[in-house]
Amino acid sequence: MIKVAIIIGSTRPGRNGEAVARWVYDLAVKRDDAEFELVDLKDFDLPHLDEVMPAAMGRYSHPHTRAWAAKIASFDAYVFVTPEYNHSTSGALKNAIDFLYAEWNNKAAGFVSYGSNGGTRAVEHLRLVMGELQVADVRAQVALSLFTDFENFSVLNPSAQQEDAATAMLDQVVAWGQALCPLRK
């Protein structure tokens, strides 16, 4: 069975990202076609990228890079839970992505975003990044509105159709994560 990481892409104190990721995780673990794990960027405490060699060389010199690489390498697919900051993803998530290369290659990914306009601009930027990392990003995505899927912009209360959107996204992530297995052997 493939393993899917649900990555919490914000580290801000009081972040909405944790509740969003837990909502996705609670839906995901009802499935029996993959294993799911929450991965919190906060737990890895990554500094701004401080490796001398580009990640594509795979020569990691710091324990924090090796710990992050080992965690990401252990998955077949990812769900990125991203806020929208200034029409893009968070600096913390982009930085964490930039630390690694081979660990992401030939994997699948889906997105759950949130923001005033559902965070869709953050996802569009992430899709460009995925291309460079050889990650197959699925079409179905979840875009949570701070106006209609949260109370007071801070308490997650997604509308019913968002659960359907999350299921569609997870269906595609699991399917593509499985389909790419031969490339990773």
Ligand X SMILES: Cc1cc2nc3c(=O)[nH]c(=O)nc-3n(C[C@H](O)[C@H](O)[C@H](O)COP(=O)(O)O)c2cc1C
Q: Which residues bind to ligand X, rule: CB under 6 A?
A: 10, 12, 15-17, 83-87, 114-117, 146
Residue from 81, 99, 5, 4 nearest 45 by CA: 99
Residue that is written with structure tokens 């999350």 in the block:
166
Dist CA 50 CA 61 (whole Å) = 9
Residue nearer to ligand X on the CB measure, 65 or 82: 82
Query: Measured from the CB of residue 85, what is the shortest distance to ligand X in angstroms?
Result: 4
φ and ψ of 132, to 5 deg = -65, -30
Minimum CB distance to ligand X smaller for 156 or for 175: 156
CA 129 distance to own-chain centroid? 12
Least spacing, CB of residue 10 vs ligand X, in Å: 3
Q: Residue 143 Cβ, how far from ligand X at the closest point, in Å? A: 10
Q: Which is nearer to ligand X, 83 or 110 (CB)?
A: 83
Task: Answer left, alpha or beta for residue 124, where phi above 0 means left and psi between -120 and 50 means alpha.
Answer: alpha
Q: How far is the CB of 16 from ligand X (least distance, A)?
A: 4
Q: Give the nearer residue to ligand X in terms of CB position, either 142 or 146.
A: 146
